[in-house]
Amino acid sequence: MRTLLGDLLAHRLSQAPAGALGKRLYDVLQSAIQQGDIATGSRLPASRDLAKELSVSRNTVLSAYEQLQSEGYLQTRTGSGTFVCERLPEIAPEANAPVAAAGKPFNYIRLSSRGTRVLTRSGAGAYQWGAFMPGVPDVSHMPHDIWRKIQLRLSRRMPVEALSYSNHGGCVQLQQALADYLRVIRSLNCSPDQILITAGTHQSLDLLAKMLCDPGDSAWIEEPGYWGFRNVLAVNGVELLPTSVDEQGMVLPNVADFSPAGRPPRLICVTPSHQYPLGSVMSLQRRQQLLALAKNAGSWVVEDDYDGEFRFGDNPIPALQGLSPDAPVIYLGTFSKTLYPGLRLSYMVVPKPLAARMKMAHSELYRGGNGLVQLTLAEFIREGHYAAHVRRMRQLYSRRRAALVEAIVTGLGADFLAQQSNAGLHLILSLPDSIDDVAVAAELEQQGVLTRPLSAYYLRGTSRRGLLLGYACVEEQNMATTFVPVLHCLKRRLKPG
């Protein structure tokens, strides 16, 4: 059987200029090494094996190997074989090589204005795991053994539908399992045909923006709010209208006074169960006012319930979607916080009149797949493992949250704790306006401590200073020690003068 290297050399030999076979093989090997197609330090096939792959004599291969070895490209190791040298001889330019004509260099890379905007406002960090990275669960507690057994069992009798492109908006078994789960846990009014499985909340919102908004339409977004929502909407030509939040959630402005030319927003994007990033929970009265406003204005409410399962102590208020049978609400959920982000599975619950068209558009734009993973998750939920895992993690995160609160209060004082909501996977450490939270976050990152500056979540100039501290992936007994670099960094800046 021919190897990848054998395929490469055979193809290049067939393209090489006519001449002696040994010289052609030498030229092809030298060129592949110089161009990096054969990596430095890599082992070459034995001369007998390569000769068989290329259908040439062994002497032809030996001749090429020996010539390359004499020039410093190859070396032999007794008992191990022939290897490409770690350091190659310098490549001298050929005497007759053409000289590139001088002139204006060709501009190969030119991003669109939308592409430039995405990169300019990017909020994704270089590191996505560690203390105190906000929004990241403790992935080490995922019950992989249970998951693997379910997946192995299912893979033995995979239905053909799960191996092809999805045209139902996702695995129907997962849609059924989610509908049953959400009706009980989050009090949603939904049936399986209203659920659409996506590859992350960003894809969910991208689909909504494409299908429900025209360029120039507006969206109310929370201020401060999640940077990912801002970028996805902006790249789709949606005008962003930042709307302030208080201890009851989004402050609802008068549509005529707030929106351009008195036009109502097409989307109203909220995180009512645990406002991101400040943590307030939208009151029942505010929720009812929001639904009434949306109905009267003809707007869609996009409810991002990104970590609604993690509440510690008090009972959760039902989701917006479940407060009214005809609520103009599109509910977004994800498994990134309850299981792990790399799973890349989220879902939408859309009103019935919209469901079929959204599923068709999703199939056209994204071609859903991962049938085995979706089937495994459906069984994981149906057999009760998902609910049990969430319960265990809720207890674990509650203890870790309490440990972080204690570290902050002990080291800095209670005044440094922002409003608390007994929910989520992060806390806000409030800072005085005199402290540059962006600089603090950058300094801590150099020490291996990952935080996010609160000011980065504001779209307008006016902002509060603080740090988002994620406690989910820091063990309870290590919380105080892990917090020490944050404490030292802030105390240095808080000293008078």
Q: Is the pLDDT of residue 105 over 60?
A: no
Compute the distance between CA of residue 310 and CA of residue 316 in angstroms, rounded to an integer.
9
Q: What is the pLDDT of residue 15?
A: 84
Q: What is the pLDDT of residue 481?
A: 93
Average pLDDT over residues 387-400: 93
Closest CA to 455 of 435, 475, 471, 472: 435
Residues 6+ away with beta carbon under 8 Å from 100:
none
Q: What is the pLDDT of residue 123?
A: 61
pTM: 0.78
Q: Is the pLDDT of residue 120 over 80?
A: no
From residue 219, how far is each of 266, 267, 400 by CA, in Å? 6, 5, 36
Pairing of strands 239-246, 218-223: parallel
Q: How far is CA 172 from the centre of its chain?
A: 25
Compute the distance between CA of residue 352 and CA of residue 288 in angstroms, rounded to an integer.
21
Set out the domains of the chain in order of their start, with CATH numbers.
4-84 (1.10.10.10), 142-386 (3.40.640.10), 388-494 (3.90.1150.10)
Are 187 and 322 within 8 A, CB to CB?
yes
Q: Is the pLDDT of residue 180 over 80?
A: yes
Pairing of strands 346-349, 329-334: antiparallel
Q: Is the pLDDT of residue 295 over 80?
A: yes
Q: For the chain, what percent of residues have pLDDT higher than 70? A: 90
How far the first Cα of the chain sits from its last, in Å, is 74
Average pLDDT over residues 304-332: 85
Are 68 and 29 within 8 A, CB to CB?
yes
Q: What is the pLDDT of residue 129?
A: 67
Q: Is the pLDDT of residue 479 over 60?
A: yes
Q: Is the pLDDT of residue 379 over 50?
A: yes
Q: Taken in order 261, 263, 269, 274, is the CA torsion positive or negative?
A: positive
Whose structure tokens read 């300019």? Answer: 120
Q: Which residue has the higher pLDDT, 422 or 488?
A: 488
Q: What is the pLDDT of residue 345?
A: 94
Residues 6+ away with beta carbon under 8 Å from 70:
none
pLDDT digits (tens, 9 = 90+) for 192-223: 999 999 999 999 999 999 999 998 899 999 99
Q: For the chain, what percent of residues have pLDDT higher than 90? A: 53
Pairing of strands 249-250, 239-246: antiparallel
Average pLDDT over residues 411-421: 82
- Tally the residues of the chain: 497
Q: What is the pLDDT of residue 243?
A: 93
Helix (H, G, I), strand (E, B) or coil at 241: strand
Q: What is the pLDDT of residue 124?
A: 61
Are 253 and 264 within 8 A, CB to CB?
no
From residue 252, how far is each of 156, 258, 277, 305 by CA, in Å? 53, 10, 18, 19
- Long-range contacts, 119-122 (Cβ 8 Å, 24+): 121/227, 121/230, 121/231, 121/234, 122/227, 122/231
Are 470 and 135 within 8 A, CB to CB?
yes
How confident is residue 97, by pLDDT bands cut at 50, 70 and 90?
Answer: very low
Q: What is the pLDDT of residue 121?
A: 63
pLDDT digits (tens, 9 = 90+) for 72-92: 899 988 777 899 988 888 654
Compute the distance between CA of residue 197 and CA of residue 374 in angstroms, rounded to an integer.
9
Compute the distance between CA of residue 486 and CA of residue 481 in angstroms, rounded to an integer.
10
pLDDT digits (tens, 9 = 90+) for 144-171: 999 999 999 998 888 777 777 777 889 9
Average pLDDT over residues 368-393: 93
Closest CA to 283 of 146, 387, 178, 421: 421
What is the token pair recorded at 19? 């001449």
Compute the distance between CA of residue 481 and CA of residue 360 in angstroms, rounded to an integer.
52
Q: Find the range with the poorest average confidence among 245-254, 309-318, 386-395, 465-474.
A: 309-318
Are 40 and 85 within 8 A, CB to CB?
yes
Q: What is the pLDDT of residue 454?
A: 93
- Determine whether 24 is exposed, middle or buried from the number of CB atoms within 10 Å of its CB (0-12, 13-18, 19+): buried
Q: What is the pLDDT of residue 161?
A: 76
pLDDT mean across residues, the chain: 87
Helix (H) or strand (E) holding 395: helix 385-411
C-alpha count within 13 angstroms, C-beta hemisphere, residue 357: 8
Largest CA distance in the chain: 87
Are 241 and 259 within 8 A, CB to CB?
yes
Average pLDDT over residues 105-118: 68
Q: Find the range with the poorest average confidence among 113-122, 195-204, 332-341.
A: 113-122
Helix (H, G, I), strand (E, B) or coil at 360: helix
pLDDT digits (tens, 9 = 90+) for 14-29: 888 878 888 899 999 9
What is the token pair recorded at 160? 């053909």
Average pLDDT over residues 376-395: 95
Compute the distance between CA of residue 164 and CA of residue 367 in angstroms, rounded to an integer.
10
Residues 135-156: b if buried by 16+ CB within 10 A, e if exposed? bbbbeeebeeebbeebbeebee
Q: What is the pLDDT of residue 95?
A: 44
Q: Give me the DSSP letters along 99-167.
A: PPPPSPPP------HHHHHHHHT----S--SSTB-TT---GGGS-HHHHHHHHHHHHTT--GGGGS---
Q: List, in sequence order, every residue forming a beta bridge with 127; answer none if it has no partner.
A: none
pLDDT digits (tens, 9 = 90+) for 35-46: 888 888 888 988
Compute the distance between CA of residue 458 and CA of residue 221 in angstroms, rounded to an integer.
11
Q: What is the pLDDT of residue 219?
A: 95
